[in-house]
Amino acid sequence: MELNNLKKLISNVKLSVENFWSKLNITSSDIIRFVSCFGIGFLIGLFLKRYIKYFILFLLCAVLLLAVLQYFNIININYEQIKLLLGFSKTATIESIIQTVLVDIREHSIAIACGILGCLLGFKLG
């Protein structure tokens, strides 16, 4: 008798959760994407907690090295090609790039929030 009641309770909870997600227009693939973003953010937070000083040092050295090499005309950084590589047009300005990034952030705000939350939690627990 109790096993039957437990099955009814589980099915009622499952039905109410499915109704809640359907009201918000969230599918199971969206939930998987959000959980994946949280997990990736958590791993990034763990990585940053342990290796942030090396990461910042590497990033600073790489930027300084590229700036010095470009200053002495040893290399030439083609910013138009970088824009094309990132998916922008050659004539894109900083304002249009920022606007595009903000639109993408608004479209994927829940996934970004899950990633940031995961990163913060990973950083705190790492």
What are residue 88's phi and psi, to 5 degrees? -105, 165
Greater confidence (37 vs 91) lies with 37
Number of domain units in the chain:
1
Distance from C-alpha of 15 to C-alpha of 12, rounded to nearest angstrom: 5
Mean pLDDT value across residues 116-124: 94
pLDDT at 2 over 80: no
Task: Please report which confidence band the pLDDT of residue 90 belongs to, taking 50, 70 and 90 as the band edges.
Answer: confident
Closest CA to 34 of 120, 123, 101, 116: 116
DSSP H helices, 76-125, are 79-86, 94-107, 109-125
Domain containing 18: what range?
A: 2-125
Residue-wise pLDDT tens digits, 105-119: 999 998 999 999 999
Q: In this predicted structure, which of 50-59, 69-78, 89-98 has the lowest mean pLDDT?
A: 89-98
pLDDT band at 45 (very low <50, low <70, confident <90, very high): very high
> Phi and psi of 57, rounded to 5°?
-65, -45
Percent of the chain at pLDDT above 70?
Answer: 99
Query: What's the pLDDT tens digit per position in 7-24?
Result: 888 888 888 888 887 887
